[in-house]
């Protein structure tokens, strides 16, 4: 299975970025995808027997976002996405800031 197999009919990818050093609610995912309908956290595990792991949330379900800097010398960015489930995304400051700005533009 590939990421494209996870998409709904007529769902269009608006933003896709590899995020190898990001933790999302404590788990490491390899990619974040924002479509016109939802946000997808995705990774592929396994050397021989590949398996896809994903979590999603509809963009219309997002009720709020929070961004803050964490740390003194090795600063990281922390994004909290509020909805039916709260996601916490932690990663490099510049990447987290860019992702936060992108999410702000995509949610209603």
pLDDT (tens place) for every residue of the chain, 108 residues total = 666 778 888 999 988 888 777 788 888 888 888 898 999 888 888 778 888 888 888 888 999 999 999 888 889 999 999 999 898 988 888 888 888 998 888 776
Provide the 8-state DSSP code for 20: T
Give exposure, 44-80, as e/b (b: 16+ Cβ within 10 Å): eeeeeeeeeeeeebebeebeeeebeeeeeeeebbbbb
Looking at residue 39, which CATH number applies to its domain? 2.30.29.30
Instruction: Please tell me the total count of domains within the chain.
Output: 1
- The residue range of the domain holding 85 is 3-106
Phi, psi of 92, deg, nearest 5: -55, 140
Provide the β-strand partners of residue 38: 58
């Amino acid at each position: 299975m590939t990421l494209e197999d996870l998409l709904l009919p007529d769902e269009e990818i608006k933003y896709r970025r590899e995020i190898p050093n990001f933790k999302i609610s404590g788990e490491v995912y390899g990619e974040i995808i924002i479509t016109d309908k939802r946000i997808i956290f995705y990774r592929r595990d396994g050397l021989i027997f590949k398996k896809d792991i994903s979590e999603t949330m509809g963009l219309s379900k997002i009720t709020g976002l929070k961004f803050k800097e964490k740390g003194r010398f090795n600063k990281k960015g922390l994004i909290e996405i509020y909805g039916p489930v709260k996601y916490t995304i932690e990663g490099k400051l510049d990447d987290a800031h860019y992702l936060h700005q992108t999410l702000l533009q995509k949610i209603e």
